[in-house]
Structure 1
Amino acid sequence: MKKLKGYTWILMLVVLLLILAGLIIGLFRMSIQNDEEQTIVGGVFLDDIDDGGWSENHYNGLKTACDALGLKLEVVTNVEEKAASEEAAVEELVSKGCNVIFLTSEGYGMDLYPVMAKYNNVEFYTVSPNSDLSNVTTYFCRLYEMRYLAGMIAGRMTQSNILGYVAGGRNPQVTRGINAFTLGARSVNQDVTVKVRYLDNWTDPKDEYLQAKKLITEDGADLITYHASLNTAIDAAEELGAYSVGYGRDMEGYSDKYLTSVIYHWDVVYRKILEDFLKGAITDNHYYFLGMREGAVSFTDVTNIVPPDVKLLVDAKRKEFAKGSFVFEGEIISNTGKVMCRKGERISDDALLRRMNWFVEGVEVYE
């Protein structure tokens, strides 16, 4: 009997310990759940979130990621790239409890350092290359991989050997796109020249259309691509019978002269960032730079006007990228004749993100 009583006490102690462990685990899970419920995501946008271009793409990606993770999203739209407007937007989001804020336009950069430093308990993510503060992280996609492949298509389709490029702003992300497109085109056609006209504005549909038209009628381009928020460059190409490569979204409904579009999958990027944030695994590099291998970039179906051998050539190169080949490696010469990368070398991510302010051989810029 004494032995049985002893075992009874042991069994009761084990049961109590199990109950206690269950309570601890339950409280821990509730704590995690509460932490996630307290995570409110904010987004600052240059234009309306239904603009049909840059802001809409970012919003849709961020909303998809937040919905998948059960996170509340607050947004401020039509925020000018001026310090006063940017600060007011951040203050509004912080007042709503946002502790993760995404700054979705390149111009939301160093002007915001004072307010970002003020709210050092908030994590800021910016598409600007500047992320010097401890609570600021740069994020972007390696769209240049798709630009290179699109350049290969353009280089084989052109008859004038002049490709037109409408550029919204002057920054490393635009420059590396121009350079990658040119490298891709000249990899299959050394006679190609890429002529660039700047808008110095992300959302000016009339000027975007006008500059595309000038590239065709004045500069001799028979193919147009662009890096701007809207898509009126394609309208000019369609009107004048030139080929076109879209940017940022699939432009359905155009003629076969529209060849393909290079596109971001921002939902992939935002989900990766937010998952890391919820785990407390914020990147040590202070940047996210996701590409084809992560599913962050692609291009749409190539029109049937592009010959099968060109499609095969592009697909082979895409497979090389998937295996680790890199756009900006090997000998690269600038359009001023300077060696920017030597055989056996590769341009670093930091240089691509923050310091690419030069153009490769074959690029001509109208100032």
Structure 2
Amino acid sequence: MKRRTLLASGVAAATLAMAGLPALAQDKTKVGFVYVGPVGDGGWTYEHDKGRQAVEAEFGDAVETVFVESVPEGPDAVRVMQQMALDGADLIFTTSFGYMDQTLEVAAKFPDVKFEHATGFKTADNVGIYSARFYEGRAVQGHIAGNLTKSNIIGYIGSFPIPEVVRGINAAYLAAKAVNPDVEFKIVWAYTWFDPAKEAEAANVLIEQGADVVLQHTDSTAPQAAAQAAGNVYTFGQASDMAEYGPMPRVSSIIDNWAPYYIARTKAVMDGTWESDSTWDGIGAGMVGIGEITDAVPADVKASAEALRDAIAAGEIHPFTGPVNKQDGSVWLADGETADDGTLLGMNFYVEGIEGDIPQ
């Protein structure tokens, strides 16, 4: 009887030990990332993936990260997100505006999984949203561009006519106009986030129209290469530093720094404090960085651009401060008035002075 009891105890202990193995495995937090472009795009997705790598470096064996790159904005995104959730992801970051509705759709099916959607505006109990105030960086770029242009024509490559992109165009234009009243913006819509051939074509079209400065809200370095081939055309890095094209044509950049946010939200899931939230940070919080302003920019312009950057970071200057009219001449911001976040988040108009219509 005693032997039987010992055997039973041994079996029970072994069973408990075996049961503990999957429990230990489940303790590892699994974090998924859905990317609209390839991790090697040199821009938007490249910086998001640097954030993913930072999560791994921060938490080591306590986390597992997975990612799928070049996921189209549409039904296929649902499949990718759903598979991540089925594979045990505890937290999923969906990193493009066009994933918004798909994120909500999948989140409703997996209420125990936390989702974070970049640049969108819809939330749920298990869906948070986050973005950066890129328009702050566009204002710094516009300031530099307005000072540098000799032709007074600045080209802008837009991706899609969504508020985020329209905000950037307006912010850059107002900053350029403030230092150069004769400046003119020409805008080409590429209707893509990442397509080097289309981006290069757009850059070349703008250069042929007289632009000697080209800004972009697309993700590859193709516009830099096109400007380099044309000669005497200035560009700016988008989303990442793109410093390999410095000191010319790339004279500065907007750098997206997602790592601190990804680390903080992963930690919140790990310690059980995650809640649906809305985050919109800029230069001051470090989510938007301004890349080195190269020596191709005159020293006085570099100094004034850095002063503008610092003033925006400190909250002393808002890129959208009146007097500012809408394109049709109607008053938008009175003298000294600053734009509210609600209007900025839904911005669907050009400011006065920009020609052309926003595509519908």
Counterpart in the other structure of 1:148? 139
Deviation at residue 351 of structure 1 after TM alignment = 3.2
CA deviation profile, 1:321-348 (whole Å, cap 9, x unmatched): 1221322233222222222222343323
Q: 1:273 to 1:291 in 2, by over 3 A?
A: farther
Deviation at residue 37 of structure 1 after TM alignment = 3.2
Give RMSD over aligned pairs.
Answer: 2.3
Counterpart in the other structure of 2:88? 97
Q: 2:266 aligns with which of 274, 287, 310?
A: 274
The answer to whether the 8 Å contact 2:31/2:266 transfers is no
CA deviation profile, 1:290-338 (whole Å, cap 9, x unmatched): 2112211112211212111112211222222122132223322222222
Q: 1:41 to 1:153 in 2, by over 3 A?
A: same
Counterpart in the other structure of 1:215? 206
The answer to whether the 8 Å contact 1:107/1:128 transfers is no
Deviation at residue 68 of structure 1 after TM alignment = 0.6
Task: Give the number of aligned pairs.
Answer: 331
Runs (5+) with no aligned partner, structure 2: 1-22
Distance in 1 of aligned mates of 2:184 and 2:275: 39
The answer to whether the 8 Å contact 1:222/1:243 transfers is yes
Distance in 2 of aligned mates of 1:279 and 1:180: 39
Deviation at residue 228 of structure 1 after TM alignment = 0.7
The answer to whether the 8 Å contact 2:154/2:211 transfers is yes
Counterpart in the other structure of 1:238? 228
Pairing 1:37–2:27 present: yes
Give TM-score, length-normalised by structure 2.
0.85
Counterpart in the other structure of 2:100? 109
Secondary structure (helix, strand or coil) at the match of 1:43 reads strand
Pairing 1:264–2:251 present: no
CA deviation profile, 1:108-165 (whole Å, cap 9, x unmatched): 0113433211212211111142323222111111121111111111101111111000
Letter in 1 for 2:259: D
Letter in 1 for 2:332: M
Distance in 1 of aligned mates of 2:335 and 2:28: 51
Larger radius of gyration: 1
Q: 1:86 to 1:359 in 2, by over 3 A?
A: same
1:315-330 equivalence runs, <5 A: 315-325=306-316, 326-330=318-322
Runs (5+) with no aligned partner, structure 1: 1-32
Q: 1:150 to 1:36 in 2, by over 3 A?
A: farther
Distance in 2 of aligned mates of 1:206 and 1:63: 29
The answer to whether the 8 Å contact 1:179/1:359 transfers is yes
Secondary structure (helix, strand or coil) at the match of 2:308 reads helix
CA deviation profile, 1:188-245 (whole Å, cap 9, x unmatched): 112212211001111221111111111111x221111101121211122112221112
1:1-367 equivalence runs, <5 A: 37-70=27-60, 71-83=63-75, 85-217=76-208, 219-241=209-231, 242-254=233-245, 256-282=248-274, 286-325=277-316, 326-353=318-345, 355-365=346-356
Distance in 2 of aligned mates of 1:272 and 1:340: 37
Letter in 1 for 2:242: M
Distance in 2 of aligned mates of 1:281 and 1:350: 27
Deviation at residue 258 of structure 1 after TM alignment = 2.5
The answer to whether the 8 Å contact 2:152/2:184 transfers is yes
Secondary structure (helix, strand or coil) at the match of 2:98 reads coil
Deviation at residue 279 of structure 1 after TM alignment = 4.6
Q: 1:310 to 1:51 in 2, by over 3 A?
A: closer
Secondary structure (helix, strand or coil) at the match of 1:269 reads helix
Give TM-score, length-normalised by structure 1.
0.83
Deviation at residue 93 of structure 1 after TM alignment = 0.8
The answer to whether the 8 Å contact 1:45/1:76 transfers is yes
Percentage of matched positions with identical amino acids: 33
The answer to whether the 8 Å contact 1:110/1:130 transfers is no
Q: 1:322 to 1:113 in 2, by over 3 A?
A: closer
Q: 1:246 to 1:120 in 2, by over 3 A?
A: same
Counterpart in the other structure of 1:19? none
The answer to whether the 8 Å contact 1:196/1:363 transfers is no
Letter in 1 for 2:65: L
